[in-house]
Structure 1
Amino acid sequence: MVNCTVKNWQGDEVGKADLDLKVAKEENASHIVHRALVRQLNNARQGTSSSKTRSEVRGGGRKPWRQKGTGRARAGSSRSPLWRGGGVIFGPKPKEYNLKMNRKERRLALRTAFQSRAEDLIVVESFAAQLTAPKTKDLLAAMNRWGVESDQKVLLIMDELAENVHLSARNVASLKLIPANGLNVFDILNANKIVVTSEALAKIQEVYND
């Protein structure tokens, strides 16, 4: 169990919150998190790259020149892989990169990854009501009060995505906003700081701690 300090909109400490997730054993933790990360990145690949073989390239039906007597090398088609404009040898073809992983393993990897970032976790009170209108400047100022530096990559996790928060956050390249039920291993590991509302933290423990 990890005890976290809860901060309000002004950056003052107003309470405590507990983070208690069922995680993998220490000797297996890095392995299972790595597997989940590789799976996520592989499953995001489109696998649509394609090149044409000599049988698929247009033209090349006529023999370029006679077999003997020209002094040049023998050639049967201008679409040979040896020729400019010819086919590609062993080029890429559409394929599936998807990897399978059991649901229990995926959940375990997600919980393990999240709890491993406890030192970089910042818990705040729900602040959607503080942004009465979309204002990126106000959101960044609040982040600064919470202890986030301007050059850090931040993952902001909320119980529900409020429209004004979404509109305020979408312009910031280093800030990613996701709902509590949309956690993924890559975003958790990629962020320098993770800002989570106390409601979202409770929801994470309720949804993923099975």
Structure 2
Amino acid sequence: MATVTIYNQDNKQVGERELAEAVFNTEVKEYLLHDMVRYQLAARRQGTAATKNRSAVAGGGKKPYRQKGTGNARQGTTRAPHFVGGGAAFGPSPRSYDFKLNRKVKKAALCSALSARYQAEKLVVVDKLSMDKISTKSFAELVSRFKLDGVLFIIDQANSMVELSARNLHNVKILRADGANVYDILKYPHLVLTDAAVTEIEGALEK
């Protein structure tokens, strides 16, 4: 049974909890992680690159010279791709880079990412994460108490005090449980979850 120690914000042990084996201690399948990261990065691409083809370039309506008798190859327009100032041949056009991944694949990939952090002992659970005021300095001190270099925090619900306090810290990111994703979990070497976030993630992935 997968178990994890629960700490408070002072990095002192306050209890333990069992983790769902199917979510936090399943087999890490690297091909699923690869597919999911590709899926996320592809969805982020704007797909707005575009060039003008011969029909989109202005001008070129007149035949440059007569068909026969000049000694040159026949030409119908100066906007063809082989002319300077002509349209591009096979250039990019606006498109979507999205591709489909089954819902089961997405869930299995997220379980693999969480399990990778747990099995590497890079997962920490805290009883709660709260701030009395917005303070980058105070949150930086919290991170230093846990001695984490590069960390993703996952909280159970919106908390503007915490989210704004961590916003300007280098190599630190805050996500809500419903936004937990493979790319960010793999990007940051350490993962810190609140106890409530663990419950929420298990509830979503065990369905």
- Give the letter aligned to residue 89 of structure 2: I
Q: Shift of residue 187 of structure 1?
A: 0.9
Question: What is the alpha-carbon distance in structure 1 between the residues aligned to residue 55 and residue 21 of structure 2?
Answer: 56
Q: Structure 1 segments of 4 or more deviating over 3 A? A: 23-26, 63-76
Question: What is the alpha-carbon distance in structure 2 between the residues aligned to residue 127 and residue 114 of structure 1?
Answer: 19
Q: Please, which of 143, 154, 157 is the counterpart of residue 154 of structure 2?
A: 157
> What's the counterpart of residue 2 of structure 2?
2
Deviations 1:150-209 (A, max 9, x none): xx2x21100112111111111224222111121111111111111111111122112212
**5+ residue gaps, structure 2:** none
Q: Does 1:200 align with 2:197?
A: yes
Query: Residue 32 of structure 2 aligns to a residue in which SS?
Result: helix
Instruction: Describe how 1:51-200 pairs up with structure 2 within 5 A.
Output: 51-65=51-65, 75-118=75-118, 119-128=121-130, 131-149=131-149, 152=150, 154-200=151-197
Change (3 A) 1:19 1:38: same
> What's the counterpart of residue 13 of structure 2?
13
Question: What is the alpha-carbon distance in structure 2 between the residues aligned to residue 178 and residue 21 of structure 1?
Answer: 23
Instruction: Report the identity percentage.
Output: 39
Q: Shift of residue 8 of structure 1?
A: 1.3
TM-score normalized by structure 1? 0.85
Question: What is the alpha-carbon distance in structure 1 between the residues aligned to residue 26 and residue 139 of structure 2?
Answer: 38
Question: What is the alpha-carbon distance in structure 1 between the residues aligned to residue 69 and residue 15 of structure 2?
Answer: 93
Change (3 A) 1:18 1:104: same
Q: Shift of residue 67 of structure 1?
A: 5.6
Change (3 A) 1:116 1:46: same
Q: Shift of residue 74 of structure 1?
A: 5.4
| Contact 1:107/1:208 (<8 A) preserved | yes
Question: What is the alpha-carbon distance in structure 2 between the residues aligned to residue 146 and residue 125 of structure 1?
Answer: 14
Q: Does 1:35 align with 2:35?
A: yes
**5+ residue gaps, structure 1:** none
| Contact 2:60/2:77 (<8 A) preserved | yes
Question: What is the alpha-carbon distance in structure 1 between the residues aligned to residue 206 and residue 17 of structure 2?
Answer: 16
Change (3 A) 1:175 1:88: same
